[in-house]
Amino acid sequence: MSSRIPWRARAGTALLAVLAGIGAFAVPGPAAAAAPPEKSRQTVTYHGYRIEVPADWQVVDLTENPRACLRFDRPAVYLGEPADQNDCPAGVVGRTAGIVVEPITARSAGQATAATARTQRGKATAPSPVSSNDTIQIAVEDVGVLVTAAHTPETESLVRGVLASAELTKGAERTELPRAAGQSDATLLAAAGPQPGSYLGKGFDACTAPSQAAMNAWQASSPYSAVGVYISGSFRGCAQPNLTASWVTSQTNNGWRLFPIDVGRQAPCTSYSLKMSTDPATARSQGVTAAADAITAASNLGIPAGSAIYSDIEAYTSTASCKAAVLSYLSGWTERLHSSGYLSGFYSSAASGIKDAAAEYNNSAYTRVDHLFYAWWNGAADTNTGSYVPSTYWSSHQRIHQYAGEVTESYGGYSINIDRDYLDVGNGTTPPTPTCTGANLDFTAYTTVQSGSTGDQVKAAQCLLKAAGFDPGTPDGVFGPGTATAARNFQTSKGLTADGVVGPKTWTALLSRGTTPTVQNGSTGEAVTRLQRALTAALGRTVAIDGVFGSGTAQAVRDYQSSRGLGADGVVGPATWGALQSGK
């Protein structure tokens, strides 16, 4: 990671060159799906699934080269099942585009989530498959393959064009993806507790999560008991064929500690192709979005609230504006993680990102991360930070030291290229979630408030934003720049238009936020009160706010459900709460 600065500079330059080389195939706009020009493409067939890819993409047959690293920092297509061992360098960072086509098996089915699309009978493509963490996944059941396509915002149209070129041929039997797949087996499988939890000792991180066989071998004879895993991020360089909820459950039940890592936008003063904005407000919003994606990934893997997730921001040459962008991004990252009960971590070079974070440790303009994960390849297995960070900062079991990098070790017959880490971490607690006790949140109508607005409804919006983990400053009833920024960050986290204006949709999402018990006619309590407030905002009419679910509330619920395409039964369960909390 960040200590290998000269290599990183070369990698960044190479990445830009690769993007320039494939840019001729890209069609402007992320929704476009045009196949590459005929003269510049090649046909690839596997298991009855045929696609056309750019002629300069590498094609890797995993039957012939089972230990090949499934890496996305250079355009490639990988065909077949990955082996238990691979030859992935620990230091792959960055992404261009890549596709993995593998048979649907019990192992590969574990990768499926709610975002995984299924093709219809006789079809080779799925209608409008969604991209999650800049990855599109399609189960082509007629020929029994799972297709995983990685991209960046710049290469999404290219990748969608390749997927749109798919055809079915003879050569494979239909294999259905298990119906439970795609709905995240994290509901049945989960980590043994918050990760990494309390742990003092050695660990390692590798580009791709090792196989179960490798983890078992290393557990038996290596000095390591903790492993860093790349769970999310649009800039992850390696595929993760082993990383499933079942894998997480197995490792943590066996005593391994996991430290989850997200690789997203990089500092704006680098040559990487995916960078955060130099505008601090935009960078903060980008941090919120990255955290929301990381939380979804953690949830899909069964990594629970209370865990720390580490944002990987590689080494950079610091300037005042670059530093402000990075720390603003981390503020949004931390605030969003805290709003869902996770701890925030920050990985970087001790000489750049970590040093910058320490310099602003007491600056209230930034929200401080909970854990440091720093690269300082001095070979010392400890958590001493030397002159980079005062010893009193992040001193309460909040440190991971990456003390050596890109070394290959072998235990029990399994070789892995790793970075060596030393952990001194504790469970910790996220800062107490602010509440709105004492503030008036009950209104007969929730009017739109925005920059320049004043009054009790502004104060209510500020209080709700603060409680959601998006700090507007002290609720004072004056809608200033801090409130606008907090509103935009909250809207981004909910997928709403990030205009900084608190209108009906934003009010609905804010007022309904909280626990989601099933409530119906006869129910009483705080959840009913929140429901009544949210319905008042969503429907644009007064619903009595008394905490009692009576006939008026029941009718309002049915009206809301009917207008949002939900089953109009008057019972508020997961679907209705989900719609309200999404601002619908």
Q: How confident is the model at residue 278 (pLDDT cuts 50, 70, 90)?
A: very high
Hey, what are 424's tokens? 């001194």
The mean per-residue pLDDT over the stretch 158-186 comes to: 78
Q: Does position 7 have pLDDT exceeding 90, yes or no?
A: no
The mean per-residue pLDDT over the stretch 417-446 comes to: 83
Q: In what order do the strands lie in the sheet with 167-168?
A: 41-46, 49-54, 167-168
Q: How far apart are CA 209 and CA 88, in angstroms?
A: 10
Q: What share of the chain has pLDDT > 90, as a percent?
A: 69
Q: How far apart are CA 11 and CA 91, in angstroms?
A: 10
pLDDT single digits (tens) 516-550: 889 999 988 888 999 999 999 999 999 999 889 99
Q: How confident is the model at residue 336 (pLDDT cuts 50, 70, 90)?
A: confident
pLDDT single digits (tens) 340-349: 889 999 999 9
Using DSSP, state whether 376 is helix, strand or coil: coil
What's the pLDDT score for residue 322? 97
Are the C-beta atoms of residues 357 and 384 closer than 8 Å to each other? no
> What DSSP designation does 71 have?
B
Q: Which residue has the higher pLDDT, 497 or 32?
A: 497
The mean per-residue pLDDT over the stretch 202-220 comes to: 96
Q: How confident is the model at residue 435 (pLDDT cuts 50, 70, 90)?
A: low
- Please give the mean pLDDT across all residues of the chain: 88
Q: Which of 18-27, 30-39, 430-439, 549-558 has the highest mean pLDDT?
A: 549-558
The mean per-residue pLDDT over the stretch 324-335 comes to: 94
Backbone φ, ψ for residue 365 (5° rounding): -70, -20
DSSP 169-197: -SS----PPPTTTTS-GGGT---SSSSS-
Residues facing residue 51 across a β-bridge = 44
Q: Does position 501 have pLDDT exceeding 90, yes or no?
A: yes
The mean per-residue pLDDT over the stretch 364-382 comes to: 95
> Lowest-pLDDT range, 206-210, 305-309, 366-370, 424-428?
424-428
What's the pLDDT score for residue 134? 87
What's the pLDDT score for residue 148? 95
What's the pLDDT score for residue 364? 85
Q: Does position 514 have pLDDT exceeding 90, yes or no?
A: no
Q: Does position 164 have pLDDT exceeding 80, yes or no?
A: yes
What's the pLDDT score for residue 29? 33
Q: What is the 3-state secondary structure (H, E, C) of 423-490?
A: EEECCCCCCCCCCCCCCCCCCCCCCCECCCCECHHHHHHHHHHHHCCCCCCCCCCECCHHHHHHHHHH
The mean per-residue pLDDT over the stretch 263-286 comes to: 94
> Lowest-pLDDT range, 111-120, 211-220, 377-386?
111-120
Q: Does position 10 have pLDDT exceeding 50, yes or no?
A: no
Q: Does position 39 have pLDDT exceeding 80, yes or no?
A: no
The mean per-residue pLDDT over the stretch 103-112 comes to: 88
Q: How confident is the model at residue 128 (pLDDT cuts 50, 70, 90)?
A: confident
Are the C-beta atoms of residues 335 and 288 closer than 8 Å to each other? yes
What's the pLDDT score for residue 421? 98
Q: Does position 35 have pLDDT exceeding 70, yes or no?
A: no
CA distances (Å), origin 424, targets 147, 212, 354, 361: 39, 25, 17, 20
> Lowest-pLDDT range, 20-24, 103-107, 558-562?
20-24
What's the pLDDT score for residue 583? 95
Q: How confident is the model at residue 474 (pLDDT cuts 50, 70, 90)?
A: confident
The mean per-residue pLDDT over the stretch 101-130 comes to: 88
Sequence-separated (6 or more) residues with CB below 8 Å from residue 463: 434, 436, 439, 441, 475
Q: Which residue has the higher pLDDT, 300 or 4?
A: 300
Are the C-beta atoms of residues 146 and 177 closer than 8 Å to each other? yes
Nearest to 369 by CA among 356, 383, 381, 380: 356
* Total number of residues shown for the chain: 584
The mean per-residue pLDDT over the stretch 484-509 comes to: 92
The dihedral through the CA atoms of 186, 189, 194, 200 has a sign that is negative
What's the pLDDT score for residue 38? 57
